[in-house]
Amino acid sequence: MTTKEKGWKQISMAGVCWKPSTQYLTGDWKTYKPVRDLEKCTRCVLCVLFCPDGAINWKPEKNDIQFDFDFCKGCGICANECPLDAIEMKLEEET
Ligand code: SF4
Ligand code: SF4
């Protein structure tokens, strides 16, 4: 028997999801995408702490942060919290 996998909208209220959230690539929800100015960014990692989706990661091997666009929903919190205005939210089709 084959089962058609349900999307997140079919999960009932207070229902338990049958697979980990890491398997739902929610990045396609976004309209706006964060674009970082590498000259302005001081790698302070505040945006890493503020991102509600864990979509910005610190990469020690690069000594830099990295966006994970598979999970970034384009909420703009990182841009709002960056103390140096190093992140600009741009329409995805313009990036
Ligand atoms: S908060 Fe701004 S300056 Fe700090 S790491 Fe993020 S983009 Fe760079
Ligand atoms: S736009 Fe929102 S989800 Fe995407 S990296 Fe910034 S804080 Fe995270």
Which domains does the chain carry? Answer: 26-94 (3.30.70.20)
Mean pLDDT of the 44-50 span:
97
16-20, 45-49, 63-67, 81-85 — which is least confidently predicted?
16-20
Neighbours of 67 (CB within 10 A): 19
For residue 43, report the distance from its CA to the centre of ligand 2, in Å. Answer: 16
| Percentage of the chain modeled with pLDDT above 90 | 63
Q: What are the residues whose beta carbons fall under 8 Å from the beta carbon of 42, sequence distance 6 or more?
A: 84, 86
Looking at residue 54, its pLDDT comes to 92
Mean pLDDT of the 51-60 span:
95
Amino acid found at 33: K
Looking at residue 21, its pLDDT comes to 75
Q: Which residue has the tokens 């990661």?
A: 57
Residue 79 has pLDDT above 80, yes or no: yes
Q: Which two tokens stand for residue 9?
A: 């909208």
> CB of 27 closer than 6 A to ligand 2?
no
> CB of 65 closer than 6 A to ligand 1?
yes
